[in-house]
Chains A and B, each alone.
Chain A
Amino acid sequence: MQTYTRVFGWVLAASLGLASQATSATSTEDSELSALRSEVEAMKRHYEERLRALEERLEAAELLASGGATANAENEYIAASGLPSVAADATRSASAPDTAARPEPATGQANAFARFAQVFNPSIGVILQGRATYFSDGGDGDRGIPGYPLGGETDRGPKGISLGESEVVFSANIDDKFYGFFDVSFDQDEIGVEEAYFSTLSLPFGLGVKGGKFRSAIGYHNERHSHNWDFVDAPLVYEAMLDGALSDAGLQINWVAPTDLYLEIGAEVFRGDAYPAAGAENNGFGSTSVFAKFGGDLDESNSWKAGVSYLRADSDGRKSEFGNQGTFSFDGSSDLVVADFVWKWAPLGNFRERNFTFQAEYMHRHESGPLTSGASAGRYRSDQDGFYVQGVYQFMPRWRVGARYGELWSDDRVTGPLPGALGWDGSSPRRVSAMVDFSNSESSRLRLQYSFASGGLGDDSLVYLQYIMSLGSHGAHTF
């Protein structure tokens, strides 16, 4: 800017000089000439003064806009000691977002790029996922879990090569009060909105509100998208009791306590279209939940988080397919309690080199209500329990190994004309998994996983080879 005004000044002075020469050539009278000269001189002085004033104003504006970045230390010293700069700063903070306050970067080209990147809003991320799968039983994706009326998402995916959940994610601060997030996923068979919500950024008292379609905050694993999972598939208990994960249209309110120990409590109400609810019961307020989360650091190397959650879901016509036995429809209620615990270790808190994560969740579900299949109707009551434990160890940068074990119990009581309808034979379904993955950078990951499923799951070996690649905006390192 300063250079521009200076150049402009030179051009002006030069043209004025030319003009004066031209005048001298055409005029013969000395007095006229000197009068003109002094006039031109006066004009030059006038313009130079105005230019200098303009430059000074520009300099002052730049100093304010950049928080004194372009000034030398002496100027800063003066500026910080006097109150006027503080007042100017207040207006800047109030009116201009931080992006406006950047000093000019070093080079012209880089300069243009940085400005472009800053105005680029919202940030966009693309996640590519795919896998090759081998099932030892040779069957395809459909599979039941004895004793569990499942949702529609619980199949183990197609055998062979298939596209996994590839996602496009848009997110940004909408303004100073709201944040928005939109995530649409594409897999082998379908396109779906994973999440589409807004949340508040600056409500008073540490309160937060989230609205739209989002993952419920119950449990630990529920809020994690599949590209952040430590294994190819969700834990068995999540598949059995939450159809993978609970995501529904709803409203959440939460509060973070102003305490040293992390404490967050919250409540949610959902439309009730998503498993374990169905049919948007209670006038479209079909499911409600409450949750509490705690956490902290034991020392520099060890951190933990624990939570308890409760979900109540009412169903109107929840459909579950059961192999050759046909489709069952459930019209009752589900009560689900989840307890979760996570512990993370990294030497001196440096996750880069080595780290270990231990994670466990326990769920208890009680369901009761009418169950119908075709013309037959009965009453269904169950108390079901399940858990998983897992450990993932990064033993050197980029390489991780992990193991997981999950098990379920059921206590199905179907009365009426449908005895034994859900195929429960007293066994406890279980699955043990082991994986190794390699992340060339934070944006790419390749994984090999072996699982063995038994206890009514058909003594089946499953082998997965998976890729997860992310393009564009940087994902969050959530705890």
Chain B
Amino acid sequence: MRIATLLPLVSILAGAAVVFEASPAHAKLRIFSCEPEWAALAEEIGGSRVEVNSATSAHQDVHYIQARPSLISKLRRADLLICSGADLEIGWLPALLRKASNARVQPGQPGHIDVSKIVPMLGVPSSVDRAGGDIHPYGNPHTQTDPHNIARVAAELARRLQQIDPEEAEFYRQRYAEFAPRWEKAIAGWETRGAPLRGMKIITHHLAWVYMTHWLGLDVVGQLEDKPGIPPTAGHLADLLAGLAEQKVEVIVRASYQSERPSEWLSERSGIPAVVIPHAVGATPGAKDLYSMFDDMLDRLLEARKP
């Protein structure tokens, strides 16, 4: 095959691209969300005007996702991307963005929302040494467990939707105007219910709860993972167990995608309940949307606190 035969091939390719692209524009805005919680929020704000896809589910460890063909296809057609950022998706999102060749969702475009650049970040390390495990230099990326952050992202999302889809700007403005006060009211309710939790000592599986514990004033006294991202070891668990005698730890918290074995092991030997707390929509049967996710979070923490 020579260049002469390659040229027609390339023109066929380009022709096919134009024909496919010219097919009638999709009426709804396509939103590609890296995590289910931002997908749920996009549905709250975008309502019937958007079609939302979440790249991951609450049962997947978002850090370990692969740049699957189906995700490339979805990102290829997206009008807006919303992701937690701060390197949480570093293993796959950059690869997807390169492969999908979609100018609308590249960093810096209105169609690219990086949550870590909207909310105040906690846990920004003073030095990054991987001897400390999988450290995120931009701060802890699991920002969604504080509902105030959801409110901040909602505001930015509403702005971007208005910008990308100006014809429907009034629609998004209204949706947001309905959502924001309702969400503020819900936060006030959770904070009232959560007040007795202040100072409660907990152990968490992974360093994924700093925003929730900061919000509710919980006291994290240990992690099942000795180093973030490195699976719990028997030796570290034994050390934790030995240290439990002095601390009045009330609950061992893990996310739905984490192995139950380390927390169950510690729970059996210490008598401290091990509980799955919803970190995202879909993580527990009760966490059906953003509201019920926080409802369930508080239900489960309060339940664990009962004598």
Which residues in A have some Cβ–Cβ distance to B below 8 Å?
66-70, 73, 76-77, 79-81, 83, 85-86, 89-90, 93, 96-98, 101-107, 109-111, 113-114, 117-118, 173, 176, 179, 199-208, 253, 255-267, 269, 282, 285, 288, 290, 293-297, 300, 303-305, 312, 344, 348-353, 397-398, 440-443, 471, 474-479
Number of A-B contacts (CB under 8 A): 274
When each residue 216-233 of chain B gets 1 if its CB lies under 8 Å from chain A and 0 otherwise, what string results?
A: 000000000000011100
List A contacts of B56 (CB < 8 A): 349
Of the candidates A68, A104, A258, the one whose C-beta lies within 8 Å of that of B77 is: A258
Given A79-B155, A97-B108, does the pair A69, B118 have CB atoms closer than 8 Å? yes
Q: Select from chain B the residue with minimum beta-carbon distance to A295.
A: B69
Judging by beta carbons under 8 Å apart, are A98 and B112 in contact? yes
Contacts A67-B117, A258-B20, A261-B73; A477 near B98 (Cβ below 8 A): no
CB <8 Å contact, B17 and A205: yes
Can you list 23 A-B contacts with CB-CB less than 8 angstroms, sorted by A residue number?
A67-B156, A67-B159, A81-B176, A83-B162, A103-B120, A103-B121, A106-B122, A173-B107, A201-B106, A203-B103, A208-B101, A255-B14, A255-B17, A295-B70, A305-B69, A348-B59, A351-B65, A352-B61, A441-B134, A442-B91, A476-B94, A477-B92, A479-B67
Q: Which of B121, B152, B163 contacts A90 (CB 8 A)?
A: B163
User: Is residue B286 within 8 Å, beta carbon to beta carbon, of the partner chain?
Assistant: no
Q: Please name all residues of chain A whose beta carbon is closer than 8 Å to the beta carbon of B126 when the two chains form the complex.
A: 107, 109-110, 113
Q: In the assembled complex, which residues on chain B have CB atoms less than 8 Å from the CB atom of A114?
A: 121, 124, 137-139
- Give the interface segment out of B5-13, B194-202, B236-244: B5-13
Q: Are B9 and A259 in contact (CB under 8 A)?
A: no
**Chain B minimum-CB-distance residue to A310:** B1
With A73-B180, A110-B125 known as contacts, the answer to whether A259 contacts B68 (CB < 8 A) is no
- Tell me the complex Cα distance, A68–B148, Å: 13
New A-B contacts (6) at CB < 8 Å, excluding given A111-B124, A206-B102, A290-B9: A89-B163, A98-B114, A113-B127, A253-B13, A265-B13, A475-B91
Contact: A297 with B101, CB < 8 Å? no
Q: Flag if B103 contacts A202 (CB, 8 Å).
A: yes
Residue of A nearest to B113 (CB): A67
Q: Which residues of B contact A (CB under 8 A)?
A: 1-3, 5-6, 9-10, 13-14, 16-18, 20-21, 56-57, 59-61, 63-70, 72-73, 76-77, 87, 90-92, 94-95, 97-103, 106-110, 112, 114, 116-122, 124-128, 130, 133-134, 137-139, 148, 151-152, 155-156, 158-160, 162-163, 169, 173, 176-177, 180-181, 184, 229-231, 257, 259
Give chain A residues whose Cβ lies under 8 Å from the Cβ of B119.
69, 103
Q: Which residue of A lies closest to B229 (CB)?
A: A441
Task: Kindly provide the distance from the CB of A181 to the nearest chain B CB, expressed in whole angstroms.
Answer: 10
